């Protein structure tokens, strides 16, 4: 089974509208973390937002919020008031487990390409 599933290969949104990017995850570890990254065409992965599995509140960072539904194992990213500069690939990622040396594996989804239309 895929650890991280992003079912939307591509999305369009009108400028100034809100958009939700879907992410579901699969883990049996009670302690895990969920991340969203943005990757513009330049290639750099930009950290957007983090949600811990024990966090009671949904994470928010400016125009980004994470709709965390633990029972459904979903961690959707909501971008409010879309801007042209939001056009990029968006990756959901999960950190889980503890390997050797304290490393917790981070697994990325396949991404969603968001295009903001003027």
Name the minimum Å distance from CB 25 to another protein: 13
CB closer to another protein, 42 vs 57: 42
Chain position carrying tokens 């949904």: 58
Chain position carrying tokens 């949600």: 51
Name the minimum Å distance from CB 43 to another protein: 5
CB closer to another protein, 23 vs 79: 23
Name the minimum Å distance from CB 15 to another protein: 26
| Distance (Å, whole) CA 112 – CA 11 | 7
Interacting residues toward another protein by CB under 8 A: 4, 31, 33, 35, 37, 42-47, 50, 52, 54, 91, 93, 95, 99-111
With 0-12 / 13-18 / 19 or more C-beta atoms within 10 angstroms meaning exposed / middle / buried, residue 59 is: buried
The rounded Cα 76 to chain-centroid distance in angstroms is: 6
CB closer to another protein, 18 vs 46: 46
Name the minimum Å distance from CB 101 to another protein: 3
Q: Are 73 and 25 in contact (CB under 8 A)?
A: yes
CB closer to another protein, 16 vs 105: 105
Pairing of strands 10-14, 112-117: parallel
């Amino acid at each position: 089974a895929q650890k991280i599933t992003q079912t939307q290969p591509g999305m369009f949104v009108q400028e100034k509208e809100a958009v939700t990017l879907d992410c579901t995850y699969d883990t049996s570890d009670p302690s895990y973390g969920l991340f969203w990254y943005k990757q513009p065409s330049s290639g750099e992965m930009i950290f957007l937002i983090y949600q811990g599995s024990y966090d009671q509140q949904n994470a928010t960072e400016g125009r980004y919020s994470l709709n965390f539904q633990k029972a459904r194992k979903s961690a959707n990213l909501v971008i409010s008031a879309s801007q042209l500069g939001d056009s990029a690939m968006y990756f959901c990622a999960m950190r889980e487990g503890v390997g050797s040396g304290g490393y917790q594996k981070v697994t990325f989804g396949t991404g969603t390409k968001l295009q903001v239309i003027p």
